Amino acid sequence: MKVEIHNLGVIEELKIDLKPLTVFIGRNNTGKTWTAYTLASILGKHGFERYLKSYINGKTQQKYPIIDNAIEQFLQEGNVSIDLINFVEEYAEVYINDVAQSSPSLMKTFLSTERSDFKSRKISFDLATVKQEILENVKKYSLERKISFGSQGKEYLNILKEIGENNIYFNIISKGSFLKEIPMRLFKELLLQEIFQILHRSFYSDVYIFPTQRTTLITFPFSLKKEILKFENVNYDSFDETSDVDLNIKKIISEQSDKPKTKKPSESVQGLIEILANAYIKATDEREEKIKKRTEIAIYAELAELLEKQVLQGRIDFNEPGLENEIIFQPSEKIKLEITDASSLVKGLAPLVLWLRYLAEPDELLIIDEPEMNLHPSVQVAITEFLAMLVQAGLKVLITTHSPYILDHLSNLMKAAKYKDKESIKEKFYLERTEAFIPQEKVSVYLFEDGIAKNILNEEGHIDWGTFGDVSDDISHIFP
């Protein structure tokens, strides 16, 4: 996926190609993190939710005749199907570019700032190289929802998209006249929500950010009610007013909404807190059930265990049920430490362990700001191998870094991928796993400096990281 950005903070112009593993390097304040977070704000749920709201309110530039025609057919017949493959073929690039341009305030809300003006920024996406992958992701998507309407519960809207099928179906199951019972504005919102969500998640199924604040945030005590986290984003209009369960949920959310409001943290900070909270909710039983249904995600729990054993040398998990929901590090069978008492190494990598064990799914984008933070050089090398393994396991990774160890070892991993007898060389590497050998076509590396970003990964797999080499030369010549 190729992206072009103009006038973003210190960045005047950059062109980048997002690969399964993308690396941003450069000096401080060159725009690496702003670029990464800008991409997250567009490609993640934040961009989807704000665009959906803007479209419903008629504030976007783009319109989609296929959707308008489908809504008209539904009004007349009470059922409709939409060919998603045709829709995505025609509108995927138009859609994501409209998301990027539709709201100048997108980055302000994402970064929770009023001090920066993003009105002059320009962002465009070219999907030519990933179009086929996007279409395949649409075909893999599955959905089945039934939404009740009316005071008597006699009607419900059935929404169905099966794996491998091109079409999504909307139809009414009714014992009476559905037009008298179902708010048509609500149907339009539901249709738009499902269509846009499938399209949006075909780029990345979700986007997660691990900001540099992670070593601090992981130590915060967090109090939560599972009911609130599970239902706080539910549309009230889809609730059955005769249901005691639905009314109780609305009451819980209403009580939370009445509390005094303070300035929200940035989406990167808030997102990490949500990762920890959602991991707590899905701990063990729910995740195991999901693994039974989708065996391909079992590898992420295995990777979490590998990270614990070979890097952290101890287990990360939540406290025992019934106690305060704090995070525990267990370096041995007899010792358990609150996360606040663990090393900076453990604090920095604990969120990654919990995310992999309880939340990660294929095709998600993981953005890590400075993965080398607080890590010994040997661990930085091991983490480089581990990030490559995540990519090989079906995840997408974008990192910002200042580490020459990461860059140098990434070159080694790309060279190793070209070896015919990979087993014969795996012992030279820290994790001793051939899955860490990553093909060069899956990697892109960009140097940010002087308001631009340039590709520094050449055809031979060499990374020209002069931004660090200059410093080494300088200090080596202070004394003869």
Residue 440 included in any domain: no
**Pair 154, 276 in one domain:** no
Is 87 found in the same domain as 176?
yes
Tell whether 160 and 308 lie within a shared domain: no
Residue 188's contacts (CB-CB under 8 Å, 6 or more residues apart) are 56, 71
Task: Please check whether residue 151 lies inside any domain of the structure.
Answer: yes
Domain span at residue 152?
45-116+129-203
DSSP 8-state assignment for residue 446: E
Specify the pTM: 0.86
Predicted pLDDT at 284? 65
pLDDT at 140 over 70: yes
Say if residue 307 is in the same domain as residue 173: no
pLDDT (0 to 100) of residue 175: 57
446 vs 456: CA distance, rounded Å: 6
Using the predicted structure, report yes or no on whether residue 465 has a pLDDT greater than 80. no
CB contact set of 231 (below 8 Å; sequence gap of 6+): 249, 252, 253
Sign for the CA dihedral angle at 416, 418, 422, 424 comes to: negative
For the residues 384-411, what does the mean pLDDT come to? Answer: 96
Residue with tokens 């903070």: 9
What's the number of domains the chain is made of?
2
Domain boundary residue, one of 182, 203, 224? 203
Same domain for 168 and 302: no
220 with 328, same domain: the answer is: yes
81 and 167 inside one domain:
yes
40-75 pLDDT, tens digit each: 999 999 899 999 998 988 888 889 999 989 988 888
- Between 276 and 141, the higher pLDDT residue: 141
Of the segments 89-103, 114-128, 354-368, which one has the largest average pLDDT value?
354-368
Residue 249: pLDDT band (50, 70, 90) is: very low
| 49-53, 361-365, 472-476: which is most confident | 361-365
Note the pLDDT of residue 290. Answer: 84
**262 located within any domain:** no
Type and span of the H or E element at 52: helix 45-56
| More confident call, 443 vs 254 | 443
* Residue 152: per-residue pLDDT: 59
Asked, for residue 468, whether it belongs to a domain, the answer is no
Collapsed DSSP state (helix, strand, coil) of residue 20? coil
Q: Given a cut of 80, is residue 264 above it in pLDDT?
A: no
Residue 255 belongs to a domain: no
347 domain-assigned: yes
Inside any domain, residue 436 = no
Residues 225 and 302 in one domain: yes
Choose the weakest-confidence range: 172-186, 246-260, 356-370.
246-260
pLDDT higher than threshold 60 for residue 360: yes
Q: Does the residue 10 lie in any domain?
A: no
From 183, 203, 223, give the residue that closes a domain: 203
Same-domain pairing of 189 and 160: yes
Q: Looking at 97-106, 118-127, 302-311, 400-409, which range is the least confident one?
A: 97-106
Last residue of a domain, one of 344, 360, 376: 360
Same domain, 90 and 161: yes
The tens digit of pLDDT for each residue in 12-32 reads: 999 999 999 999 999 888 999
Within this chain, do residues 192 and 322 fall inside the same structural domain, yes or no? no
Report the C-alpha gap between 362 and 141 in whole angstroms: 12
Which phi and psi (to 5°) does residue 367 adopt? -105, 120
Q: Judge if 184 and 218 occupy the same domain.
A: no
